[in-house]
Structure 1
Amino acid sequence: MDLFVTVLLWFMAVSSGLMAGIYFAFSVFVMRALATLERGEAIRAMNAINAVIVRTAFLPLFFASSLGALALAVIGGLHWGVSGGTTMAQGGAAYFVGMFMVTVGRNVPLNNALAAVDPASDTGAAVWAQYLRQWTRWNHVRTIACTVSLALFIAAIASMRA
C-alpha cells in the first residue's frame, strides 16, 4: 500500500488510542465519581462536561478520526486478503460503528435528554438514573471499539511491513 495509507493507519492508531483513553477514563472513574454526587450537582457537572468537550480538541479529533476510519474501512475492503487490507477494514469498521455511530446514535441523544431536564426536579432524578446506567453502558462499547481498532490498526501496519 502507499504512503497515504501508511500515514492514515498511524493517524488512526494514535487517534484510537487517544479516544480509547478518554472513554476509558469515563467508564472507569468519571461516571462513578459523578454517581457519588448529589443528583442535581451530578447533572450540572455532566452537562458542563458535555458543553465544554465540544469546544476542545476532542471534536476535531472525533470527526477527523471518524472520517479516517471510514476511509480505511473502504480502502481495506478494496484490498481484502491483501497484506494488511483485512485488518485495516476491520479496524475502520469497528471504529466507525463502535465509536462514531454509538456516539451519534446513543450517547449524544442521552446527553441532549439530560440537558433538557431541570436538575432539581423529579423528572431530573429519573432521567439521571437512566442516563447514568445507559450512557455508561454505551461508553463501555466505545471504549472497547476504540481499543480493538487500535490493535487492528497496529496489526495492519505490522503486516504491511512484513
Structure 2
Amino acid sequence: MTMMQPVITSLLWFSALGCALLGGLYFSFSAFILTALNRIEQAAGIAAMNSINVVILKSLFMPFFLGTSLASLALASMALFRWGEPGSLAMLSGGILYVVGMSVVTMMFNVPLNNALAAVEPASAEGAQVWARYLKDWAFWNHVRTIACIAASALFIGAIAAR
C-alpha cells in the first residue's frame, strides 16, 4: 500500500457522501420544493426562493458544495496518474461527471438564474416572466445536477468497492 492509498480512500468516501448529500438536496427541489413554490402566489414564491438562495450560501451547504467539488477534481486528477489501478476509471468518471454536471452547471446556469430572480420586483409583470422562465429552466438544470450527483456518488462507491 502506498502512502496515497489512505488519502484516495478518504477522498472517495468524502466525495461519495458529499455527492449523495447534495444529490438528495437537489432531488428535493426537483421532486417537490419548486412545485410547492409554483403553487403559491408568484410574489411569495419568488420571495421564498430568493430567501432560500441567500440562506443556503451561509449554511453547511457551501463547505460540502466546495469541498466535494475540490475532492472530485482531485480524484479525477489522481485517477489519470494511477491509470490501470482498480477503480481508476470510476474515479475519473465520477470526478468529471460531478465537476461538470454539478459545479459547472451550477455556475453557468443555476446561479445566473438565481441572480436574475433576485433582480426583479416579485409582484411585477417582469417578475412573472422571470419566474415562469426560472421554474422551467432552473428545474431542468437542477435535474441535471441531481442526476450528476447521484451517478457520481455511485461511481465513487464503485471505485471504493474496486479498491
Q: CA deviation at 1:79?
A: 1.9
- 1:158 alignment partner AA: A
Aligned partner of 1:141 in structure 2 is 144
Aligned partner of 1:58 in structure 2 is 61
Aligned equivalent of 1:95, options 95, 98, 101: 98
- 2:5 alignment partner AA: D
Alpha-carbon distance between aligned partners in 2 of 1:46 and 1:16, rounded to the nearest angstrom: 23
Aligned partner of 2:47 in structure 1 is 44
Alpha-carbon distance between aligned partners in 1 of 2:54 and 2:46, rounded to the nearest angstrom: 12
Contact kept, 8 Å, 1:79 with 1:86, in 2: the verdict is no
Aligned partner of 1:106 in structure 2 is 109
Question: Alpha carbon RMSD of aligned pairs, Å?
Answer: 0.8
- SS of 1:2 mapped into structure 2: helix
Q: CA deviation at 1:77?
A: 1.9
Contact kept, 8 Å, 1:19 with 1:146, in 2: the verdict is yes
Aligned length: 160
Alpha-carbon distance between aligned partners in 1 of 2:84 and 2:142, rounded to the nearest angstrom: 32
- 1:75 alignment partner AA: M
Question: After alignment, is 77-86 or 63-72 more displaced?
Answer: 77-86
Q: CA deviation at 1:60?
A: 1.0
Question: After alignment, is 72-81 or 33-42 more displaced?
Answer: 72-81
Alpha-carbon distance between aligned partners in 1 of 2:159 and 2:24, rounded to the nearest angstrom: 21
Aligned equivalent of 1:25, options 24, 28, 33: 28
Q: Deviations over 1:57-82 (max 9, x none)?
A: 00111001100010011111222232
Aligned partner of 1:83 in structure 2 is 86
- 1:77 alignment partner AA: L
Gaps of 5+ in 2: none
- SS of 2:83 mapped into structure 1: coil
TM-score (norm. length: structure 2): 0.96
Q: CA deviation at 1:93?
A: 0.5
Contact kept, 8 Å, 1:98 with 1:141, in 2: the verdict is yes
